A and B are shown apart, each in its own frame.
Chain A
Amino acid sequence: MRALPKQLVMVGSVLALAACTTTDGGKAEVQSAPAKSPSENRAPTGEDGNVPFPSTYKAYPGAPTALVGATIFDGTGKRHDNASVLFRDGKIVAAGTGLSTQGFSIIDGAGKFVTPGIIDIHSHLGDYPSPGVPAHSDGNEATGPTTPDVWAEHSVWPQDPGFSRALANGGITALQILPGSANLMGGRSVTLKNVPSRTVQGMKFPGAPYGFKMACGENPKRVYGNRGRKPSTRMGNFAVNRQMWLDAIAYAEDDEPRRDLAKETLRGVLDGEILVHNHCYRADEMALVMDMAKEMGYKVTAFHHAVEGYKIGDLLRENDVCSAIWADWYGFKMESYDGIPENAALLQKEGACVVIHSDDENSIQRLNQEAAKAQAAGKRMGIEISDATVIGWITLNAAKAMGIDHLTGSLEEGKMADLVLWNGDPLSVYSRPEKVWIDGALMYDAMDRKRRPVSDFELGQPGAGDVK
């Protein structure tokens, strides 16, 4: 969702413009049980040099560190009180109580909380960066309704100040940058480490699979219908999509095809290597998309926005599709008119996978608060969801839906040391990140004015280096 111009503007056209947790149903409290992650969803790491645009990300130096005496939410749904988390050499060593801190620098976590790094599964940072000027408008290749050939990473401006805000205020350690939703097929997404780099390759999350952005509903048919071309209706949306998939299947069956960027991406989806993130609001459309996926032999990994997900929690669970949603945004267009704040809780109650996303450079800075709002709305209708589970919505669940849960998203031994020390309960409006580590390197420290990134754009400008 690109930034609205700074006047009161009713949203006229929104050009948001992308192996889920199942639960065992609940008694009084709804639990989540970790689901298996498809092991085939591993993109080549790039170190073999055979992959175009390989990641050149390298972890920065850190020190063996123990956060001691804190309340810990580990991302899997567990909570440890008065506990410690230890990390060294960029990896989590352990999280829990009764751990020896011999050889670790100790940080006192009394009164504080620790969570895995927060992960935003739906962002346009870099593609629709600040300042939001036309020269930076790179999120939607809206020159044709299906552009599977474009890759969001080729639009990412690593100097977008939005990345540092997400780090400092939101504890964001990883994020998925998606093409917008003007198109039925928007292109490949990219998963980034929230670590500044001079190049986007330097931010690319090593080992992360690609995603593929699709969009149903109002946006594509409005954008192209207004130009007198297909699609101009929802039925047009589906026809264009289905024909593209048929063409992709034919291409995939060819033993020695000519290189074709669009078909390569679609074939990646059909092969299960590239994960589908489908912007879709209405329950009935999500049901149609799931049937299209079955017809064409691919899987929808996550519906994004899924404003009416609560109406089909059973279908979403049965089809193992995650819902990446807002806490309570609604009502700005017809397909969001039925959005309710109880969406997350009702999905969780049905055993469907819940992820909280932002799709916005402002609310990425408070995913923790959004998750808390969603939890509370559920509680008010009698659906009790533990704090630890709710933290999972913005950590491990997001990681699973992005195919990186084997690498990050929880404070488990061997995973990347991506974590946040909060100065209070992360589900409280009064809390903020105090320290953020990525791969064990301290990338943000509220107590150290200089331990925060300032993008090239901001140097020498009014407010450069200010607490934002």
Chain B
Amino acid sequence: MKSLLTLAASAFALIAAPAAAQDFTITNVTVGKGDGSEPVKGANVVVRGGKIVSVGTAGSASGDAAVIDGSGQWVTPGIVIALTNLGLYDVGAVGSSNDTGARNARFDAAIDVAPAINPSSQHIKVNRAAGITRALVAPNHGRSIFAGQGALIDLGADPDAVQQARAFQLVELGETGARIAGGSRTAAYVELGNALREARAFSSGRWNAESALLTRADAQALVPVVTGHQPLYVEVERAADIRQVLSFKRANPRLDLVLVGASEGWLVADEIARSGVPVIADALDDLPSSFEQLAATQSNVGRLAKAGVKVAIGRLSGGTDGHPRSAAQFAGNLVALSKMPGADGLSWGQALATITSVPAQIAGHGGKFGVIAPGATADLVLWDGDPLEVSTAPTRVFIDGVEQPRESHQSELAKRYRDLDESQLPKAYDW
């Protein structure tokens, strides 16, 4: 019996192993593990079968695995973007290429981004080259406060991007939710309450299509939310609104909530910490861009962390200051704050964690990726210097131990235009 199981297990392992996962060891490298610890110099990272076997300064490369000399370089887990639209668009302003939101759709909570993810999107290529290896991809809201269900993807150069479909539901409260629900937060709260009530009714077989406001598909989609099997990401900024959400959680303890945005979270940090609800924060918002963000400060993340809140940085979706590949720069800025009197920042290790292990934990995959530790998948990025510095870049990117290409439309353009010589032929022939 035991040997049958072993055979079965190894057969499964053969099928499950990535096609070209290499065995390799990175030697003499400065490693940032992503678990909050500070960098360690002169370490070795051993990878076998697409998984990290060991990391540390003891021991050396052994066996016939390939050796990558990491001297002068750093290695970190692949960056995990806690929340983004990556993979759902080619050009944001080109509506036909943009699947982030469906303003006139008939469904909302039931929306599922997984089938719409395009692994060939240039933005996936560009961000992979920048060291992003996984992302939680969310839809944008349409006509309901429920935007739909996001997915966990990897940014690998293969057709299988979606690692976990329907990984979370996203709901808009605050000013955005108010606007969607008809012009007031009061309406949004009633919508929220009604939707969860209909989902509970659906789950216990009592949902009545005639008297229901939700479509069947939407009510059904919310069942895992009310049973606590699917996290509910709640976009909310203002201190009062955050308190409201936390009291909602106390009244509905089965809900698995994640706060998104939380610009004024620092005003409610102790309460958030007590509730155990994690936060995906905008890293550096410091302006009162609306009346729900009057207290915004770059010290928000640092103060949340100090209070014991599990906080990742995310919502990097392509604005001039919010591209996913800016994640490391944003994390580095949080370290800079530590030197400023009156500001609250993070240590280097904590800052790296906000873009690696903490997003992985919030996504329910703590320890499986986003960290360099035995048993984690080999999502690894080699950098030509301190990864949080603005002047560094990845030199090699691995996802599940498979080395990734770093070319893109952008890199090809740079190659073509490294000179403007058209003495023999037009630039169009330069490829």
Within 8 Å by CB of B392, from A313, A334, A376, A467, lies A376
Extra 19 A-B pairs, beta carbons < 8 Å, given A131-B291, A338-B413, A427-B391? A6-B293, A8-B100, A9-B319, A10-B88, A10-B93, A11-B93, A162-B287, A331-B123, A332-B91, A333-B94, A337-B409, A340-B417, A361-B289, A362-B285, A377-B393, A379-B391, A461-B295, A463-B264, A463-B297
Q: How far is the CB of A364 from chain B (nearest CB, A)?
A: 10
Known: A10-B92, A430-B335, A462-B294. A132 touches B289 (CB 8 A): yes
Judging by beta carbons under 8 Å apart, are B340 and A467 in contact? Answer: yes
B395: nearest chain-A partner, CB-CB: A380
Judging by beta carbons under 8 Å apart, are A10 and B341 in contact? Answer: no
For residue A88, CB closer than 8 A to chain B, the reply is: no
Contacting residues, chain B, for A468 (C-beta < 8 A)? 286-287, 296-299
For residue A233, CB closer than 8 A to chain B, the reply is: no
For residue A346, CB closer than 8 A to chain B, the reply is: yes
CB contacts under 8 Å to B, within A296-313, are 310-313
Q: How far is the CB of B349 from chain A (nearest CB, A)?
A: 14
Contacting residues, chain B, for A218 (C-beta < 8 A)? 93
Contacting residues, chain A, for B296 (C-beta < 8 A)? 463, 468
Mark contacts of A169-189 with chain B using CB atoms, 8 A cut-off: 1 yes-contact digit, 0 otherwise: 100000000000000000000
Within 8 Å by CB of A462, from B264, B343, B417, lies B264
CA distance A457 to B253 in the complex (A): 39
For residue A458, CB closer than 8 A to chain B, the reply is: yes
For residue B2, CB closer than 8 A to chain A, the reply is: no
Mark contacts of A365-402 with chain B using CB atoms, 8 A cut-off: 1 yes-contact digit, 0 otherwise: 11001001101110111000000000000000000000
Q: What is the size category of the interface that chain A forms with chain B?
A: 35 or more
Q: How far is the CB of A182 from chain B (nearest CB, A)?
A: 14
Q: How far is the CB of A219 from chain B (nearest CB, A)?
A: 10
CB contacts under 8 Å to B, within A406-465, are 423-424, 427-432, 446-447, 449, 457-458, 461-463
Contacting residues, chain B, for A329 (C-beta < 8 A)? 320, 323
Judging by beta carbons under 8 Å apart, are A372 and B413 in contact? Answer: no
Judging by beta carbons under 8 Å apart, are A461 and B389 in contact? Answer: no
Known: A428-B389, A449-B341, A468-B286. A10 touches B89 (CB 8 A): yes
CA distance A3 to B237 in the complex (A): 15
Known: A6-B176, A162-B287, A340-B413. A346 touches B339 (CB 8 A): no
A359: nearest chain-B partner, CB-CB: B320
Interface residues of B (CB under 8 A from A): 83-85, 88-89, 91-95, 98, 100-101, 122-123, 126, 138, 140-141, 172, 174-176, 235, 237, 239, 261, 263-264, 267, 282, 284-299, 315, 317-321, 323, 325, 329, 332-333, 335-337, 339-343, 388-393, 409-410, 413-414, 417-418, 420, 427
B98: nearest chain-A partner, CB-CB: A10
Contacting residues, chain B, for A13 (C-beta < 8 A)? 93
CA distance A362 to B239 in the complex (A): 22
Known: A10-B318, A468-B297. A446 touches B84 (CB 8 A): no
CA distance A431 to B282 in the complex (A): 20
Judging by beta carbons under 8 Å apart, are B333 and A326 in contact? Answer: no
Contacting residues, chain A, for B290 (C-beta < 8 A)? 6, 131-133
CA distance A329 to B329 in the complex (A): 14
Within 8 Å by CB of A333, from B84, B91, B341, lies B91
CA distance A310 to B419 in the complex (A): 9
Q: How far is the CB of B153 from chain A (nearest CB, A)?
A: 15
CA distance A427 to B391 in the complex (A): 8
Contacting residues, chain A, for B294 (C-beta < 8 A)? 458, 461-463
Judging by beta carbons under 8 Å apart, are B318 and A11 in contact? Answer: yes
Contacting residues, chain B, for A330 (C-beta < 8 A)? 410
Known: A7-B176, A423-B339. A332 touches B93 (CB 8 A): yes
For residue A161, CB closer than 8 A to chain B, the reply is: yes
For residue A314, CB closer than 8 A to chain B, the reply is: yes
Judging by beta carbons under 8 Å apart, are B284 and A362 in contact? Answer: yes
Judging by beta carbons under 8 Å apart, are B92 and A331 in contact? Answer: yes
Q: How far is the CB of A378 from chain B (nearest CB, A)?
A: 10
For residue A14, CB closer than 8 A to chain B, the reply is: yes
Contacting residues, chain B, for A377 (C-beta < 8 A)? 393
B139: nearest chain-A partner, CB-CB: A8
CA distance A432 to B340 in the complex (A): 8
Ordered by A's residue number, 8 sampled pairs between the chains whose C-beta atoms are within 8 Å are A4-B319, A331-B318, A333-B91, A337-B409, A377-B393, A446-B340, A449-B341, A467-B340
Judging by beta carbons under 8 Å apart, are B93 and A9 in contact? Answer: no
CA distance A200 to B117 in the complex (A): 48
CA distance A358 to B319 in the complex (A): 12
For residue A265, CB closer than 8 A to chain B, the reply is: no
Judging by beta carbons under 8 Å apart, are B341 and A446 in contact? Answer: yes
Judging by beta carbons under 8 Å apart, are A373 and B319 in contact? Answer: no
For residue A89, CB closer than 8 A to chain B, the reply is: no
Q: How far is the CB of B82 from chain A (nearest CB, A)?
A: 12
Known: A330-B410, A333-B92, A369-B390. A161 touches B336 (CB 8 A): no
Closest A-B pairs by Cβ, 9 of them: A463-B295, A429-B332, A333-B93, A10-B92, A376-B391, A462-B295, A467-B342, A362-B321, A468-B286
Judging by beta carbons under 8 Å apart, are A337 and B298 in contact? Answer: no
Q: How far is the CB of A21 from chain B (nearest CB, A)?
A: 19
Within 8 Å by CB of A432, from B323, B339, B414, lies B339
Q: How far is the CB of A3 from chain B (nearest CB, A)?
A: 5
Known: A9-B317, A366-B333, A468-B297. A331 touches B122 (CB 8 A): yes
For residue A341, CB closer than 8 A to chain B, the reply is: yes
Judging by beta carbons under 8 Å apart, are B317 and A161 in contact? Answer: no
CA distance A372 to B267 in the complex (A): 34
Contacting residues, chain B, for A466 (C-beta < 8 A)? 295, 297, 299, 342
For residue A141, CB closer than 8 A to chain B, the reply is: no
Contacting residues, chain A, for B325 (C-beta < 8 A)? 328
Known: A429-B390, A466-B299. A131 touches B288 (CB 8 A): yes
Contacting residues, chain A, for B339 (C-beta < 8 A)? 423-424, 430, 432
CA distance A346 to B410 in the complex (A): 14
CB contacts under 8 Å to B, within A1-42, are 1, 3-14
CA distance A468 to B288 in the complex (A): 10
For residue A320, CB closer than 8 A to chain B, the reply is: no
For residue A271, CB closer than 8 A to chain B, the reply is: no
Indicate the member of B237, B289, B298 with the most A CB atoms within 10 Å.
B289
Q: How far is the CB of B8 from chain A (nearest CB, A)?
A: 43
Contacting residues, chain A, for B390 (C-beta < 8 A)? 369, 372-373, 376, 427-429
Contacting residues, chain A, for B282 (C-beta < 8 A)? 6
Within 8 Å by CB of B288, from A334, A379, A457, lies A457
CA distance A13 to B291 in the complex (A): 24
Contacting residues, chain A, for B292 (C-beta < 8 A)? 6
CB contacts under 8 Å to B, within A105-129, are none
CA distance A301 to B297 in the complex (A): 36
CA distance A373 to B267 in the complex (A): 33
Within 8 Å by CB of B235, from A7, A326, A449, lies A7
Contacting residues, chain B, for A348 (C-beta < 8 A)? none
Mark contacts of A196-227 with chain B using CB atoms, 8 A cut-off: 1 yes-contact digit, 0 otherwise: 00000000000000000000001000000000
Known: A363-B320, A468-B297. A7 touches B141 (CB 8 A): yes
Contacting residues, chain B, for A331 (C-beta < 8 A)? 91-92, 122-123, 126, 318
Contacting residues, chain A, for B298 (C-beta < 8 A)? 169, 468
For residue A165, CB closer than 8 A to chain B, the reply is: yes
CA distance A13 to B92 in the complex (A): 9
Q: How far is the CB of B161 from chain A (nearest CB, A)?
A: 18
